[in-house]
Structure 1
């Protein structure tokens, strides 16, 4: 939920549109940034319904602003995706579905998951992945604590530490040793720290996958005059 990963989304969206369309093209987009401090406090307090109402309101604002598709640029807060979808009439692109489709296309059925404690330890992510025929492995207790703490104490504060990169590499290696055929970077900030070069198994970067699927959908068919809008919500 940090501006650091919002900036990454914005960069990737525009790079991907230009890569596909060439020239001076960029993504026509609306971005609504919420205050991460407010969301983080709701997460710690378990106030998920309140967080859902806040993000649903943000998505509604984007729709009224002309958005034709909405993205929630965070894995953890997809826990309240249903509330957001119920609040808008335009399509909502779910990050777990986009990531699962990429994993399934690679022929994998068991992958490791790195994310916040809320993502790794609750069922919303695991259950949706199972709906695509994919089982998840998560780090052990100390590993989950380390992954979570690095996200909140470093990455969401614009700190990228080499010691944390090495620790993540060890955790990814442990997941692979336990049978993970790949690993999901299941927090949109993790892409700032590690990537394919840090893993012995294929890496599925949920941030990049989410962006690429959004561009697929936005550019599908003949472009309308003036182009289509992409929308980011909740960041």
Structure 2
């Protein structure tokens, strides 16, 4: 098996999901006594939360590049970032190492394209929902994306940052997300993209009115493929 480097801490709740499901994915494929070879660096989220200015993003870029280089030096054969938002600077991080970076948006776009999805809505943190980098990456895979709702984006952002990133799951937020998804399903879209690695804590991808493409699940599957040598 190939060893993978996981940049985590963005948030710890998301990192826990990645660690658990990378191991479960390997076990499912080759046996329950097996574990995934993972090098994990969990960063201090205080330095990476709610970035808004170019200076803050430059600081984050330096932190993640250093993390990626440490993981490569420690023997990782590929990298994963356990957060959608930090893929805004994925190109720069990938350019600073000689091993591949498994990109969460590319993996999701490939899956949507393979399934013949032509239109989708995206929900996640505000920077993922509202900034062009995430949406433009998905559009490259032949998708038409529904416009975001600003009030909904703010409410989802608060749920992610104030609750899910602290490992809190409330019934009130679960109901809120169910209402949002029901409203989104009334739009002319074929699927919903869960573009926050924590949202799966509230939303069951297998039990919704729309087909749900969970970026965490798709990204983890790509990681398992890499570990087991099924990816080039």
TM over 0.5: yes
Deviation at 1:44, TM superposition (A): 3.9
Specify the SS of the correspondent of 1:114. strand
Question: Which residue, 67, 84, 88 being the options, matches 1:79?
Answer: 88
Deviation at 1:198, TM superposition (A): 4.9
Q: Which residue of 2 aligns with 1:191?
A: 200
Q: Which residue of 2 aligns with 1:33?
A: 42
Contact preservation (8 Å) 1:139, 1:175:
no
CA offset digits 1:64-101 (Å, max 9, x no partner): 01000000110011001111111110010000011111
Question: Which residue, 67, 71, 76 being the options, matches 1:58?
Answer: 67
Specify the SS of the correspondent of 2:93. helix
Contact preservation (8 Å) 2:130, 2:148:
no
Specify the SS of the correspondent of 2:121. strand
Specify the SS of the correspondent of 1:30. strand
Cα pair distance change 1:198/1:23, threshold 3 Å: closer
Deviation at 1:127, TM superposition (A): 0.7
Contact preservation (8 Å) 1:104, 1:132:
yes
Structure 2, unaligned runs of 5 or more: 1-9
Q: Which residue of 1 aligns with 2:3?
A: none
The TM-score with structure 2 as length reference comes to 0.91
Q: How big is the alpha-carbon RMSD for the aligned residues of Structure 1 and Structure 2?
A: 1.5
The TM-score with structure 1 as length reference comes to 0.90
Contact preservation (8 Å) 1:126, 1:135:
no
Q: Which residue of 1 aligns with 2:123?
A: 114
Is 1:128 aligned to residue 137 of structure 2?
yes
CA–CA distance in structure 1, aligned partners of residues 100 and 61 of structure 2: 17
Contact preservation (8 Å) 2:37, 2:227:
no
Q: Mean alpha-carbon deviation: is it higher for 44-53 or for 31-40?
A: 44-53
Structure 1, unaligned runs of 5 or more: 222-235
Equivalent residues in 2 for 1:139-218, closer than 5 Å: 139-218=148-227
Deviation at 1:138, TM superposition (A): 4.6
Contact preservation (8 Å) 2:36, 2:227:
no
Q: Which residue of 2 aligns with 1:230?
A: none
